[in-house]
A and B are shown apart, each in its own frame.
Chain A
Amino acid sequence: NAGVTQTPKFRVLKTGQSMTLLCAQDMNHEYMYWYRQDPGMGLRLIHYSVGEGTTAKGEVPDGYNVSRLKKQNFLLGLESAAPSQTSVYFCASGQIHYEQYFGPGTRLTVT
C-alpha cells in the first residue's frame, strides 16, 4: 500500500514549457486535491476532484488544468509555465473532505 505518490519529485522548466504532474493513490479515495506551497506560506488549493470524471477550481486555479479520468489518478497540467509557478506542489486524497492524505511533493522550478 503505497498511499499517495507523486511523479516527478523534482523538475526544472523553462518559461513557456509545458508539463504534467501525476498523482496516484491506491486507497480507493473519492476525493483528490492539488495544492501549491510557496516559501513561508501555507498551502493554497489549486484544483480538486470529488470523484472520477469531476474537477473543480480551488483558490488559485489560473494557469493550471486538471483531469481525473481514472479514480486513482489526478493530473495537474501547466500549459505554459511561468516563473510565478515555481513552487512545491502537493497532491492529497481522502474519502472524506477533512481527512486528507498527502503525497511527498514535487519541487518545480521555472526559469
Chain B
Amino acid sequence: DAKTTQPPSMDCAEGRAANLPCNHSTISGNEYVYWYRQIHSQGPQYIIHGLKNNETNEMASLIITEDRKSSTLILPHATLRDTAVYYCIVRVGSGNTPLVFGKGTRLSVIA
C-alpha cells in the first residue's frame, strides 16, 4: 500500500474551515484514500473515503487532486470538539488487508 505524508500539527480558528492535507504521491490506480480521526484517549472514528471523485458526508468533504497524488480533508466549520489527530490512509479498496495507521496530523481548534 502507498505511504502517506501529513503535517504533524495544525491550528484552526473555531468556526473556520479546517483543511488537512495529505500527500500520497505513490498511490496506484486501485488504491483508495481513507480518513479517520482520534479524539483524545478514544478509539479512532471513520470519517470518509474516496477513490478519485470528491466526496462529502455529514462530517467532512474529501478533495482528491486530478493526479491523485494528494488530497485534502475539509471540516467546513470547525468546532472545539473537532480537536483530534486525523489520519490519512491509502489502501487497495478490494484488498483483504487491514488499514495501517501512521502518526497523523494533530488538529487544534482554537476559540
Q: Residues on A close to B: CB < 8 A?
A: 4, 31, 33, 35, 40-45, 48, 50, 58-59, 88, 90, 92, 97-105
Is B29 located at the chain interface by the 8 A CB criterion? no
Partner of A102, one of B34, B45, B85, B97: B45
Q: Is the interface of A mostly helix, strand, loop or mixed?
A: strand
Q: Once the chains bind, are B96 and A98 in contact (CB under 8 Å)?
A: no
Q: Residues on B close to A: CB < 8 A?
A: 32, 34, 41-46, 49, 85, 87, 91, 93, 95-104
Q: Once the chains bind, are B43 and A42 in contact (CB under 8 Å)?
A: no
What is the distance, in angstroms, from B37's C-beta to the closest C-beta of chain A?
11
Specify which chain B residues have a CB less than 8 angstroms from the CB of A102 in the assembled complex: 42-45
Specify which chain B residues have a CB less than 8 angstroms from the CB of A104 in the assembled complex: 42-43
CB < 8 Å A-B pair total = 55
Specify which chain B residues have a CB less than 8 angstroms from the CB of A45 in the assembled complex: 98, 100
The CA of A45 and the CA of B97, in the complex, are separated in Å by 11
**Closest chain B residue, CB of each to CB of A97:** B98
Q: Once the chains bind, are B42 and A105 in contact (CB under 8 Å)?
A: yes
